[in-house]
Amino acid sequence: MSTNPTFPLFPTLPTELRLKIYTYILHITSATPRILKISPFAPTPISNTPPPITLSICAEARALTLASYSYLELGTQASAPESKGGVAGPLIPVDWESQTLYISNLTPLFRHTAVLSPSLLQAFLYDFSTSPSRHHIQSLAIDLRVWHELADHGFLGILARLRALREVKLVVEFGRRFEGQLGFLEAPEWRGDLRWLAKRAGGEVNGGSGSGGRSGKDGGGDRNGDGDKGREVKVECVILTRGGEHA
């Protein structure tokens, strides 16, 4: 009998133990609700948020991760590399139960000018409104400047038809460079202007009134189109924060 302490190679561990280790790794990397920051980019959005590390370990860890994650389908992105035989853009994994989809800016749609390209903006709105992922979105965050631009082009009508949507966060960025993980901080009491904006936007999203009238036939009516008329979407203004910033 050998007295030398040994540890088995990881691949030789029991399957149940390997899966527990993968689950633990996935849990500690997403223990708190994560923010998936994307920027519209023709023809496909890009993400500023790294994917779960377990997608890159091995096929076994990847399969475990994809039990709770799916790929964002927006624009010309493929839902998965094996489903369409090719990848039109970088795949963006998302866990709809714990992640907030954050549309951060429209800069990529300006085509190197100070004027927003109407064709690219309309293409983004069309892609968003027809995306197979749209009915999985539960939490959506939008830069406040982006919100004003999108609301002027019928975005409220699109939101009214998102079946799973439960909250919208209007994000105030101060242009500062922070360190650490992205986070949202509730607007402080003394920012009455932000609270008023959130209340107004909430009325537009849930009632299809006010600026929602700009969405034409897309505004008003049954917000989900599937009989879920009683559910109200929470709308609030938040401040982008990293590394323990406080209001």
pLDDT tens digits for 159-211? 988 999 999 999 988 766 656 677 888 888 899 999 999 999 998 888 754 44
Q: CB count, 10 Å around CB of 171?
A: 23
- Per the listing, tokens 């990397």 go with 29
C-alpha–C-alpha distance, residues 54 and 56, integer Å: 5
Residue pair 235/198 in contact by the 8 Å Cβ criterion? yes
Render pLDDT for 126-158 as a digit per residue (tens, 0 to 9): 888 888 899 999 999 999 888 988 888 888 889
53: its two tokens: 């590390």
C-alpha–C-alpha distance, residues 165 and 239, integer Å: 21
Residue type at position 76: T
Residue pair 106/116 in contact by the 8 Å Cβ criterion? yes
Q: Which residues, other chains included, contact 216 with Cβ-Cβ below 8 Å and sequence gap of 6+? A: 154, 157
| 3-state secondary structure (DSSP) of residue 67 | coil
Domain borders along the chain are 32-50+94-242
**Could you check whether the bond before residue 43 is cis, i.e. omega within 30 degrees of 0?**
yes
Q: CB count, 10 Å around CB of 86?
A: 7
Helix or strand (DSSP H, E) at 36: strand 34-39
224: its two tokens: 């989900």
Residue 2 pLDDT class (50, 70, 90 cuts) = low
- In this prediction, residues 229-235 reach a mean pLDDT of 80
Render pLDDT for 86-104 as a digit per residue (tens, 0 to 9): 445 578 888 898 889 998 8
Residue by residue, DSSP assigns 202-231 as HHHHHH--GGGGGGGGGSSS-SSSSS--S-
C-alpha–C-alpha distance, residues 153 and 122, integer Å: 8
Residue pair 242/178 in contact by the 8 Å Cβ criterion? yes
